[in-house]
Structure 1
């Protein structure tokens, strides 16, 4: 069994090309063609765009909803794309002998992994979904921000740390400033949840009351905060939100019950903060400022819990 160590920097590549992942942009129709040529390999997502509105349908009589309009626009965008077999041939990715072996292997790995990461990142107006799949010494990833064009990449597992660092890059149109949230904030979960609900409802006047009646102290860098400071810090966690990151990790071995681990970050004014639930002192959540490049380090213990080790069998 391959041991996945995301906390150790990757080894120095023997050549420039060894240090690079292979990347390829594919439209959704092209991706589906490749998946079919890879033995009908299932893709790690399920897209069913809504059908265009017609005059005889209920939505046609009453007008399009936002959802139906977006589905129609999505279907129209796909309809403008050229025939995927022709475009793959023009790009040299498809010949009479079949599709490029590297592309077929990457799509095949997406369908038959040992470990799966589903990644959802939103920062400002940008949202990206990505799927990382690992088996043995190889990793394949697929990502998209619009469901039309996808980036397919494949690389050795030793380069996974570098690839994960791309996930947390903050867009240039979101400059970092200072934050009212301490570097390490520890809050009762019920208080963090209720303050968020009060702010979403436009009842910021309730925040001091909620803090005063909280079951547990609010800690900043290990020190207890007063009610006013606590109200400002917990409110800032919600008010400063500019993005989020969520990773679901799962071991997909057929021999074991699937286990799922979660990594959650929130993007505040000064950058990324991890959100970690704790139950050693009641239900609490830690909000800790993290380096963007530390995602692999944060993910490593989650993977250790998710991966199911083989149990020795009696001969």
Structure 2
């Protein structure tokens, strides 16, 4: 049983370089070549059988809705304009006569053989990013992309993981934050939150007051019970203000036949990120709480415990 503490600030680095992650931008063809040089290490997403355009259930699907034929063609054309990956890797000094860069191969190898895996999906405004974080022992490797063509590969000591996770929740500069109609802590029956969302998606906002009035269970705002009008406004705002979402799937990778999976879900509202935490208290409920970007590591700690890892000193 390993111990990972994501809630205690990392120790100050002894040198400037110790406190930095090493990052490289790699195109998809370059990434595939490096994976081949690393002994055929599998990447954390699927490629089409011919190794070119991702298909259904693969990277294409992971980055959002399925591409139409026109978008598939544009994706293929974009890959076709890239230079030969063997040449570009050599010109960049990442592959030499004695083989590929050792750190690069080690990072790709860690992506394929981790002890702990985090699959991260973030959408904010028009931007969507898919990232994979893989950890084993004192090292972490991460891979991320927003278009399936160019990837950022990074590797760093596990003590710096908290800092790297904070990068995941950075709100794009073009999304300006403003006041929200959602309380800092909104606690609602899950069925009510779901039915209100369905009504709004169907264009039946007139049904929201009826659903709130007839719903079972109380709606709490910052610990106090809300009246029907305030509850309807707050629940409507949760759905109407949504500008993005974050989901992290965490799993321990081991020799066990089955491995549990933990989930962290956030939604981006007008005033920033809010966590979504289901719980059972007089029925199924969900707590929607205002969080800071730096809170992600703290939110992950109980999830890591859930999948079989101890969260250190928390």
Please say if residues 117 and 252 of structure 2, whose CA atoms lie closer than 8 Å, have aligned partners that are also in contact: yes
Distance in 1, matches of 2:183 and 2:293, equals 17
Distance in 1, matches of 2:119 and 2:102, equals 25
| Residues 300-309 or 211-220, more deviating | 300-309
The residue aligned with 1:180 is 181
Larger Rg: 1
How many residues matched? 296
Distance in 1, matches of 2:151 and 2:77, equals 17
Check if 1:288 corresponds to 2:284.
no
Cα deviation for residue 31 of structure 1 reads: 0.2
Please say if residues 2 and 309 of structure 2, whose CA atoms lie closer than 8 Å, have aligned partners that are also in contact: no
Please say if residues 50 and 75 of structure 1, whose CA atoms lie closer than 8 Å, have aligned partners that are also in contact: no
Classify the secondary structure of the residue corresponding to 1:246. strand
Deviation digits for residues 176-226 of structure 1 (CA, Å, limit 9, x no counterpart): 100000000001000100100100110000000000111101000111100
Deviation digits for residues 260-282 of structure 1 (CA, Å, limit 9, x no counterpart): 00000000000000000111321
Unaligned runs of 5+ in 2: 56-65
What is the RMSD of the two structures over their aligned residues, measured on CA atoms? Answer: 1.4
Distance in 1, matches of 2:193 and 2:82, equals 46
TM-score normalised by length of structure 1: 0.92
The residue aligned with 1:219 is 220
Classify the secondary structure of the residue corresponding to 1:254. coil
Matches within 5 A, 1:1-315: 1-48=1-48, 49=53, 67-255=68-256, 257-307=258-308
Distance in 2, matches of 1:250 and 1:205, equals 42
Q: Higher relative CO (CA 8 A, sep ≥ 6), structure 1 or 2?
A: 2
TM-score normalised by length of structure 2: 0.92
Flag the 1:26–1:50 CA change in 2: closer, same or farther, 3 A.
Answer: closer
Deviation digits for residues 277-300 of structure 1 (CA, Å, limit 9, x no counterpart): 111321100000001111000001
Q: Which runs of at least 4 in structure 1 moved beyond 4 Å after TM superposition? A: none
Classify the secondary structure of the residue corresponding to 2:232. helix
